[in-house]
Amino acid sequence: MTPQPIPEPDDELLRLGQHAFRSRLLVGTGKYATFEQMAAALELSGTQCVTVAVRRVNLDRRGGPSLLDHVDRARYTILPNTAGCFDAATAVRTAELARELLGTRLVKLEVLGDEKTLLPDPLGTLEATRELVRQGFDVLVYTSDDPRLACHLEQAGAAAVMPAGSPIGSGQGVLNPNAIRILMELVQVPVIVDAGVGTASDVALAMELGVDGVLLNSGIALAQDPLRMAAAMRDACRAGRNAYLAGRIPRRLYANASSPEAGLIEPAQRRGAAPGAAHAHGALAAEAGPAGE
């Protein structure tokens, strides 16, 4: 008899704006060796939402091949991002262009502070969020792990906040998990870790914090074997999510035996008594009779 596969545990969908996804892994489309490799990695990752850098891609297919020719629009939701924008006005114009070309309200907003660190500029990010929300965009905001800034972005109407685990492309994972935990307590919109994810364990640890998803690009595209890493990231995202929902055991300073001690046979022998000592002791007690005799 062929064993039947065990179904995945029930889980709610990840809802971003008007879209809902089973996969909680969002994957970028940049830095791959070829478009074909990118398409294969997206499939192996199990993602349903892929990011596209509007300013760095030939979105209208003029002047050469476009990565959009290798992204199945029926299979994936495209999330345009404003990567490479260093002020609010440029980010807003880029989002408007993406909406015109792609016909989507979704946008991943990035307003960067400088070219060296690629850290988000908080004031420009907040300004652009307010304007894009006013225009009817569903804004997913790349931000720092500052919990208070996340609150301001939520109040401005952000559909999701996306704190950086560590600097873009650094591969350092989540450097400040406590800030992410506090941030999640203070906002009600989805929280998605974005940037700095280098390997599968980074994804699993992020998901075990209870975040709603992870977005990554370099961690797959720049791996020595991108296709194998895409599969690893997929499995790590599922494992981390299930571990969070299952609830880990409490951490303890000392050991806690897996088997209870109640009902153990002949505990005297366990304390170093000679074999047969417990039996002999019982025999002598029986010969002595009741106490006082």
Of 139 and 269, the one with more pLDDT: 139
Domain range for 54 is 23-246
Residue 65's pLDDT is what? 74
Q: In 3-state terms, what secondary structure has residue 277?
A: helix
pLDDT tens track for 141-178 = 999 999 999 999 999 999 999 999 998 888 999 999 99
Q: How far apart are CA 174 and CA 13, in angstroms?
A: 24
Neighbours of 49 (CB within 10 A): 22
Inside any domain, residue 62: yes
Inside any domain, residue 288: no
Domain harbouring 135, CATH code: 3.20.20.70
Mean pLDDT of 244-259: 89
Inside any domain, residue 29: yes
Inside any domain, residue 121: yes
Inside any domain, residue 223: yes
DSSP 145: S
pLDDT tens track for 50-66 = 999 987 777 555 666 77
Inside any domain, residue 164: yes
Please state the separation of Cα 244 from the chain's center in Å. 11
pLDDT tens track for 5-39 = 666 677 899 999 999 999 999 999 999 999 999 99
Identify residue 82 by its one-letter amino acid code.
T
Cα angle, residue 128 at apex, residues 126 and 133 outer, rounded to 5°: 95
Q: Which of 8-17, 81-90, 215-224 has the lowest mean pLDDT?
A: 8-17
Res. 287 pLDDT band, cuts 50 70 90: very low
Average pLDDT of the chain to the nearest whole number? 87
Residue 67's pLDDT is what? 79
DSSP 68: G
Is residue 108 annotated as part of the catalytic site, yes or no? Answer: yes
| Number of separate domains in the chain | 1
Inside any domain, residue 112: yes
Please state the separation of Cα 279 from the chain's center in Å. 59
Count of alpha carbons within 13 Å of 153, Cβ hemisphere only?
37
User: Among the options 24, 108, 130, 238, which is catalytic?
Assistant: 108
Inside any domain, residue 52: yes
The token pair that represents 170 in the structure block:
């650094």
pLDDT at 293 exceeding the cut of 50? no
